[in-house]
Amino acid sequence: MKSLVLLLISVSIFLIGIIFKLVPLPGSGIMLVIGLALFVVFAAIKYIEKKSPVMKKVLIISSIILLASLLFAMIKYKYFAELLIGAVIAGLIIFLLSLLSGSKNKPE
């Protein structure tokens, strides 16, 4: 139930970011990035719960999209240093989650 709420929040923030992008309002890029980041968290939670290879692919693809959108957001926004730090932290968290979840499944 908590992961469903997280999915709904991420989708709603992402859709609000799209609407802000269509009507040129400030803050649309940040809302898109936050929506994608929350979706990455949702995908990580689902992957850890179910260990399915489909959710692993979703997690990898959404992480790549998140990091690419952060890279392009850094070019446009004046707060690129903060976004860079956030991207590095998000990448490290995703890497550590995948590393920790992958080490439990290895046969000896």
The residue ranking higher by pLDDT, 77 or 47, is 47
Length of the chain in terms of residues written = 108
Domain-embedded: residue 68: yes
Is 108 within the bounds of a domain?
no
Mutual orientation of helices 28-50 and 80-103 as an angle, nearest 10°? 10
- Specify the DSSP class assigned to residue 52: -
| pLDDT of 56 above 60 | yes
Domain-embedded: residue 63: yes
pTM for this model (two decimals): 0.56
Rounded alpha-carbon distances, angstroms, from residue 84 to 8, 15, 42, 74: 26, 23, 22, 7
Residue 63 in tokens: 């992480």
What is the tens place of the pLDDT at every residue in 18-32? 888 888 888 877 888
Residue 21 lies in a domain: yes
Contact 13, 38 (CB under 8 A): yes
- Report how many domains make up the chain: 1
Domain that holds residue 62: 2-102
